[in-house]
Amino acid sequence: MEMSYTLAVTLFGYAVLWFFGRVKALIYFSQRRTSKGYAPLQTDLEEFVTSRVLAPLKDCYARPIVSPASTWIDVLEREVVDSRCISKGRTRRCFNFGSFNYLGFGDPESPCRDEVIKVAVHYSSHTCSNRQHLGTTRVHIELEETVARFIGKEAAMCFGMGYGTNWAGIPAIIGRGCLIISDTQNHASIANGARTSGAAIKTFQHNDAQDLERVIRKSILEGMDSKRPWKKILIIVEGIYSMEGTLCPLEELIRIKKKYKCYLYIDEAHSIGAVGPRGRGVCDMKGIPPADVDILMGTFSKSFGSMGGYIAGPRDLIERMKLYSAGWIHSPSMSPAAAQGVMSVMKCIMGEDGTTIGRAKLVSLHRNALYVRDRLISMGCEVLADAGSPVIPVMLSMPGAVCAFSRLTFERNIAVVVVGYPATPKFQSRIRFCVSAGHTLEELKIALDRVEEVVDLCGLRYMRGWCQGWKHNKTSPEPNLKIIEMKSKEPRISENGKVPTKTTEEVRKKRK
C-alpha cells in the first residue's frame, strides 16, 4: 500500500513533466531547425527530453562555483529563462555537501599547497607530451613509486583522468576470448572500458556474492563456446559504490575468485584515501592483504584533491600495460603539479611528512561520515550508504522532489548534488551527500537541521510510520569504530556508535 503510494506519486510526477513537455513541444515545434536534406542531429524523443523536460530544471545541475571547493563555496545564482540558464549576477555562500573533497586536501589551505606551487612554477602547467615521448618527469616516476607503496602493490601506472583509467586500462588487461563479470552498479567508465576491451561481458546483481558465483559457474560450464574455455575471467567491482555508498563484500569476493581461479579488479575511486585505519581503502578497512586482490584501481579526484587515476598490480602486468594501453600511450601525461599534489597527499596520509595531519583528517572524515548517516537515518530518510562511506546517497524517488530538494536546500545556503533519471533508474532519483574531513561537527549539525526542514517539505521520511515498506538497503554493517581508537583531539565516537554533541574535553570538564 505504502509502496504503491510512492510509486503512484512518482508516476504522476513523470506524467505531469511529460504532459507539459508535450504541450510545449507542440507550441514550439515549428522553431526546430534542421537543414534541408540533412537527417536531424537529435531524434524527436531526445529533442523533447533535453529541451522540454530537462531544460526547466537546468538551474539545479552544473551550478558554477566561484571559489575553491572547500567546506564553504560561493555558488552562482541562476534562473531559467526560455530554456536557458541566466546568471542573476550574484553568488550565494553555501555549505558544501556535494564535492568529493573527502579529506579536505582540495582546500586552498591544504598542507600540500606549497609543494604543488613549486612544481607548477618549475614545470609549468603541462608537459605538452605523452609518457612515451617527453612527457615523463621526475614527479611522474616518483608518483608511481609512491602509489605502489601506498596501495601495497609491486608497481603502479598513473593516468591523467580517473574515467580514462578504467576506459584505457581495462582493454590493456583483457581482450577477446576473455570474460568480464561486472557488478550491475559499476561506474560508466568500467562499462566503457569493458566494452572497448572486446571481452565478453556478463553482470551479476549488485553486491550479491551468490549471484556472482552462479554466473561464474554457468560461464565456466558453458565456456566461450562448446569447445573452448575462457582464456581468463575478470571480476570487476567497486570498493564503495558512488551511487549507493555500499561497500563491496570483499571477503566473499576473494573466496569466490580463489575458488574459481578468476582475477579480481576493484575500482576504489570512493574508498581509497577515505576508509581504513590508514586510509588505504577497502582492504585496509577489512584487514585483508592487498595481495589477495589482483588489480587495484583508483582515482585522484576525490580524497587526494587532484586529478587522474592509477592502476596498481604485479610489476610484469603494469610493464605490459604500459606497452598496450592506447589511452596511456597516446594521451598527454598528467600535469606535474597535479601529480605532485597526489604524491604530497599520500605522503601526508602515510605520515612521511613528519606530521599527524593525514591521520587526523582520516579520523575526522570517519567521525563525520558516521554522524551524517546516523542523523539522516534518524530523520527517517531512506539512506542507501553503508556505515563509514563518505558518500551518502538518500532516496528521493519522485522526479518532482529532485529539483525541489536542490532549490530548497540552495535557498538555505546548502549545496547538494541531486541525481535523477537518466543517470539513475526512473524511480530511484537520489541526493548524494558527500562528507569531508574539513566539516566540523557544529557545521554539520546546523546544515543537517536545515536539510531536515527540506526533508519535511519534500515528504522524504520514507522510513517512518506507514512509509516504512520500500527499503532499498538491506545490509547495513555495524560501524567500524577501529579507526576512531586512534589518538585525536577531535570528539570521539562513543561505544554506541553515536557522536557526542559535546567534545571529550567538555565532557571531562563536566565530570570534574
Ligand X SMILES: Cc1ncc(COP(=O)(O)O)c(C=O)c1O
Residue 87 CA to residue 79 CA, distance in Å, equals 7
User: 78 vs 270, which CB is nearer to ligand X?
Assistant: 270
User: Considering only 161-169, 192-200, 285-293, 404-412, which stretch makes contact with ligand X by CB under 6 A?
Assistant: 161-169
Closest CA to 204 of 196, 214, 194: 214
Residue 350 CA to residue 462 CA, distance in Å, equals 41
Residue 28 CA to residue 24 CA, distance in Å, equals 6
Determine the angle formed by the axes of helices 2-28 and 399-411, rounding to 10 degrees: 90
CA 51 to the chain's CA centroid:
28
User: Considering only 143-151, 159-167, 197-205, 363-371, which stretch makes contact with ligand X by CB under 6 A?
Assistant: 159-167
271 interacts with ligand X by CB under 6 A: no
CB atoms within 10 A of CB 428: 19
Chain residues 297-356 in contact with ligand X, contact rule CB under 6 A: 299, 301, 309
CB of 187 to ligand X, least distance (A): 4
User: Considering only 20-28, 155-163, 172-180, 461-469, which stretch makes contact with ligand X by CB under 6 A?
Assistant: 155-163
434 sits in which H/E element: strand 429-434
Residue with grid cell 571531562, as numbered in its chain: 508
User: 190 vs 216, which CB is nearer to ligand X?
Assistant: 190
Task: List helix spans (H) across 325-440.
Answer: 326-330, 336-350, 357-379, 399-411
User: 400 vs 420, which CB is nearer to ligand X?
Assistant: 420
User: 10 vs 99, which CB is nearer to ligand X?
Assistant: 99
SS3 186: coil
CB of 312 to ligand X, least distance (A): 15
439 interacts with ligand X by CB under 6 A: no
238 interacts with ligand X by CB under 6 A: yes
163 interacts with ligand X by CB under 6 A: yes
52 interacts with ligand X by CB under 6 A: no
User: 95 vs 100, which CB is nearer to ligand X?
Assistant: 100
169 interacts with ligand X by CB under 6 A: no
Chain residues 181-210 in contact with ligand X, contact rule CB under 6 A: 187, 189
Distance set, CA 81 to CA 58, 87, 374 (Å): 10, 10, 39
267 interacts with ligand X by CB under 6 A: yes
**Interface ranges with ligand X (CB under 6 A):** 161-163, 166, 187, 189, 238, 242, 267, 269-270, 299, 301, 309
